[in-house]
Amino acid sequence: MLKALLEPKSIAVIGASRTPGKIGYVILKNIMNYGYKGKIYPINPNANEILGLKAYPSVLSVPEEVDVAVIAIPAQEVPKAIEECGKKGVKVAVVISSGFSEVGNVELEEKIVKIAREHGVRILGPNIFGYAYTHLNINATFGPLEIEKGNIALISQSGALGIALMGWTIMNEIGLSALFSVGNMADIDVAELSELLADDPNTKVIAIYLEGVKSGRGREFVEKMSKVTMKKPVVVIKAGRTSRGMKAVASHTGSLAGSDALYDAAFKQSGIIRASTVEEMFDIARAFAQQPLPRGENTIIITNGGGVGVLATDAAELSGVKLIEPSQNLINAFKQTMPWFGSPRNPVDLTGQAVVDNYIKALKVAVESPEIDNIVILYCRTAILDPRDLAKAIVEFYEENKVNKATVISFVGGQDTYDAMKYLNRHNLPSYPSPERAVNALSKMIWYKKFVEHKTRK
């Protein structure tokens, strides 16, 4: 049933508007302009045609089947629309409209859920900005049109923040497979969507902005999410850490904020990775989306600067990333990749004199060595080596050699290092402006790998 969201043959927009700027207009326009290839039916009793498409007075008057209906009409009219969706055989109603439990209108919300259950319709929302599934070119939101395509699925319990994050992911070239606004979660909740995405071949990692789980559904959340994390990594940013934050959550989505420690324990038990900031959530999600899972814990750092090497070493120690002590053989091999005053241990310091050739030779040694599972590549801007040249050479090396050791990168410097990192990111090499962020992302991948292994062995 829910699967219809990821494979609809047709979408109706109930409340598709003729008026530019209205929510029902923007949603219809986004669905059309993002390139959805299925049938699109605008529903509006006051119009014959909207944006060049034939409009129907009711979903019941559509001649063919309707899989998903996006509803953007005033709240009091939603029950009737859901009933008509039920009669029509619509599988999921995506209810954009506000004015339900979030403003104390609990009865109206219960009413739409009751009607939906009677007719076998599932409800996403109400009080949401819509949903997107980029592999079918579905953008049924009133957010920005051009969502970057990729394999991170994002679920947001906050509408406004979700829309803002859409813009943020576009700016930072973070590719999404799916995007769900869940709003009041009257019916479909975060756990159920995660289950859906766990089986979606286009999603590699699930990122969630969570305010809280509905009261009485904590145990169910842990049970469902424990199964989800065995299939896909899940990264959550849980708002309401502090007591004031919890109060803010309670008045925002009405979710049971619960004690933060309780959530922390529930996440650990379920294998969910917790991020502290939005930035960290995407740092981690990007690493999972772009890289293979670590084969093991043994990690090497390759750098041209002692300082960043030390920062990365500290970050690794603090986050439990195991830095290997290279064998004499490996030390000898690394020695061949650097000037005599470099350091062939861990971090492997190619020195400030390093050029592309030094990095590629050192990478070759690291990739071929059975002692090494994961690689951290660091670079500090020097006038000797243009970061864009290094980025190109690294991409070429990884692609040519089909490297399958988990790798994270940090380039530190100005605008050209930033451009170089964009290039690396576009080529599936997760790159960060500080060594700590790179190592942190790797540490979460290693933690997750160990969690899954441990659970599988049980």
Contacts to ligand COA by CB under 6 A: 14-15, 17-19, 22-24, 43-47, 72-74, 77, 81, 96-99, 127-129, 159, 181
Residue 87 or 219 with smaller CB distance to ligand COA = 87
Distances (CA, A) of 57 to 46, 163, 344: 7, 30, 74
Question: Which runs of consecutive H residues, i.e. helices, occur in 58-217?
Answer: 78-88, 106-119, 159-171, 190-198
- To the nearest whole angstrom, how small is the minimum distance from the Cβ of residue 274 to ligand COA? 24
- To the nearest whole angstrom, how small is the minimum distance from the Cβ of residue 189 to ligand COA? 16
Residue 182 or 205 with smaller CB distance to ligand COA = 182
Where do we find the tokens 């009865």? 107
- To the nearest whole angstrom, how small is the minimum distance from the Cβ of residue 396 to ligand COA? 44
Question: Euclidean distance between the first and final Cα of the chain, in Å?
Answer: 33
Two tokens at 451? Answer: 């969690």
- To the nearest whole angstrom, how small is the minimum distance from the Cβ of residue 60 to ligand COA? 11
Q: Element (H or E) spanning 286, and its range?
A: helix 278-290
Which residues have CB under 8 Å from 444's CB, separation 6+? 235, 273, 284, 287
Which residues have CB under 8 Å from 183's CB, separation 6+? 95, 102, 125, 126, 127, 128, 157, 159, 253
Q: What are residue 140's DSSP bridge partners?
A: 131
Residue 58 or 343 with smaller CB distance to ligand COA = 58
φ, ψ for residue 148, nearest 5 deg: -65, 130
Residue 26 or 446 with smaller CB distance to ligand COA = 26
Residue 101 or 181 with smaller CB distance to ligand COA = 181
Residue 162 or 309 with smaller CB distance to ligand COA = 162
Mode of pairing for the β-strands spanning 149-156 and 176-181: parallel
Residue 7 or 83 with smaller CB distance to ligand COA = 83
Residue of closest CB approach to ligand COA: 159
- To the nearest whole angstrom, how small is the minimum distance from the Cβ of residue 57 to ligand COA? 8
In terms of Cα–Cα distance, which of 164, 148, 206, 177 is closest to 425?
A: 148
Length of the chain, in residues = 458
- To the nearest whole angstrom, how small is the minimum distance from the Cβ of residue 426 to ligand COA? 30
| Helix and strand numbers, DSSP H then E, in the chain | 15, 19
Residue 57 or 307 with smaller CB distance to ligand COA = 57
Two tokens at 394? Answer: 């690294």
Residue 278 or 293 with smaller CB distance to ligand COA = 278
Residue 182 or 301 with smaller CB distance to ligand COA = 182
- To the nearest whole angstrom, how small is the minimum distance from the Cβ of residue 100 to ligand COA? 9
- Tell me how far apart the alpha carbons of residues 281 and 156 are, in angstroms, rounded to a whole number: 12
- To the nearest whole angstrom, how small is the minimum distance from the Cβ of residue 107 to ligand COA? 17
Two tokens at 376? Answer: 């951290």
- To the nearest whole angstrom, how small is the minimum distance from the Cβ of residue 322 to ligand COA? 43
b/e map 224-247, b = 16+ CB within 10 Å: bbeebbebbbbbbbbbbeeeeebe
- To the nearest whole angstrom, how small is the minimum distance from the Cβ of residue 162 to ligand COA? 7
- Tell me how far apart the alpha carbons of residues 344 and 362 are, in angstroms, rounded to a whole number: 9
